[in-house]
A and B are shown apart, each in its own frame.
Chain A
Amino acid sequence: MAELKLPADEKTIRALKVGDFVELSGRMITGRDSAHKWLVEAHREEVAPYLEGSVIYHCGPVVAKTEDGGWRFVAAGPTTSIREEPYQADVIRGYRLRGVIGKGGMGKKTLDGLASGGAVYLHAIGGAAQLLAAAVTRVERVFMLEEFGVPEALWVIQVERFPVVVSMDSHGGSLHDEVEAASKSRLDELLAKK
């Protein structure tokens, strides 16, 4: 399994193809529903440096306070990505993201955004909250905690060998489109018989 260091450059990202297993190491940031809306409403200068060249993780973690006043990720699997479809391409373009981590895949607008921006969609295993939290080695800081609450805040984290699968690449490839088309053919067969 290839290791991908974050931040990453465009050439590295363009080399990734649908079906590749990748382990991420470096700094990333979490963001889900409220965060995406907020990121496109205005350019958020304070957060921009954490997004550029890195990836945003669709995740609403369980986070515990540590004794020294810091934070620890207790459970941190991906949330369903398609809800960010209206915003994602703009966030990729506006903040020069190299990738998105989530689950369930995304739509045409995002797929186009990945191609034009030089970014990939990385599928984490939904529900694997412990395994993924164990890959989070440090919580650096958090944005919008008071306003959005723990699950929706933007958490800046360091990860080590965080496992994902490339399910949408920067060349228009989408595993989700392939599986959906194949399952549609099979559904039609099943519905043709009684």
Chain B
Amino acid sequence: MADQPSRVETFVELIRRAAVDLPADIEGALEAGRRAEAASSLAERALGTILDNVAMAREISSPICQDTGTPVVWIHHPAGVSTRQLEADLVEAVRQATARSYLRPNAVDTLTGKNTGHGTGRGIPFVHFEEWDHDRVEVRMILKGGGSENCGTQYKLPDGKLKAGRDLEGVRRAVLDAVFQAQGKGCAPGVLGVCIGGDRVSAYNETKRQLLRPLEDVNPNSELAALEQRVLDEANTLGIGPMGFGGQTTLLGVKIGVLDRLPACYFVTVSYMCWADRRAGVSIDSGGQATWLS
């Protein structure tokens, strides 16, 4: 097995795949959106440009978007695997992927304003670890761009202005307001990761984890599944459209998770993922063999 790639090499390839291509469900939804828009409208042309760009990026193996985002990573690992080493390998992979222009040098020292130059820094990449019973390591990653990250928001219910109480109707009102506030600024058409409950930190984590769900994934909770569909349909009547140019394709998907909460708190937290919804995954077996996940 001399030619088996090292774990760092596998992680570099994982990053490359995330940066230069879109998952099939996202690309399919963009194509469906394009077909739904009026011929030669700004919306239709914007989606056409987007789809042409995705094809180009894939063809030449170069980043879809110059903002290659924060790598947010979830790693499941068996007992006994060093998480410290996994994180070190991932950090090294981000450095190598940056040197190879799969990623932009995207970490800035917040105090000095100086770019670290190698894509890693305090809190970047952001890695979650969870031990599980399988003997393989599974890594799932999203690249979360800054423009969409700035559209993320957190509501504290009840909200008098929105007439949003502590129930699913209140959640609906808050999420629709978030879509309105974002307009096209998060690079619409986007995907929303939503968390009901939790605290201010755990909730944002959950919104990002929701973004790992493929668009076709149906929420196991039927009430939430219905809410996801309703908010998606209603948001697409707002007329914001691709890039905020107007049109019917404002969102591609809505994914809602739940965490329990303190009696005093009821947060509705929203992460906005841009149309360049870059996610990738890999499963590495105990022998080091990598299998790419969709």
Tell me whether A64 is interfacial, beta carbon within 8 Å. Answer: yes
Interface contact B106-A151, CB-CB below 8 Å: yes
Judging by beta carbons under 8 Å apart, are A74 and B240 in contact? no
Q: Do B245 and A130 touch (CB < 8 A)?
A: no
B246 touches A130 (CB 8 A): no
Alpha-carbon separation in the docked complex, A6 to B108 (Å) = 33
Nearest CB on A from B136, distance (A): 33
Q: A62-B63, A123-B243, A127-B275 are in contact. Are A191 and B183 (CB under 8 A)?
A: no
- B180–A129 CB distance below 8 A: no
Residues of chain B with a CB closer than 8 A to A128's CB: 49-50, 52-53, 65
Question: Min CB distance, B235 to chain A, in Å?
Answer: 9
Q: Which of B112-120, B210-218, B282-290 is the interface stretch?
A: B112-120
Interface residue? B276 (CB, 8 A) = yes
B63 in complex: contacting residue of A75, A104, A187, A190, CB < 8 Å:
A75
* Given A61-B66, A104-B184, A131-B53; A75-B104 close (CB under 8 Å): yes
Select one of B50, B173, B183 contacting A125, CB under 8 A: B50
Size bracket, chain A contacts: 35 or more
Bound Cα distance from A103 to B169, whole angstroms: 33
Q: Chain B interface secondary structure, helix, strand, loop or mixed?
A: loop
Contacts of B180 in A (CB 8 A): 183-184, 187
Instruction: Pick out which of these stretches binds chain B: A44-52, A76-84, A86-94, A110-118.
Output: A76-84
Partner of A103, one of B64, B103, B147, B176: B147
Residue of B nearest to A105 (CB): B244
Is A169 located at the chain interface by the 8 A CB criterion?
no
* Chain B residues packing against A (C-beta within 8 Å): 42, 45-46, 49-50, 52-53, 56-57, 60, 62-68, 101, 103-106, 108, 113-115, 117, 145-147, 150, 162-163, 169, 173, 176-177, 180, 183-185, 187, 234, 237-241, 243-246, 274-276
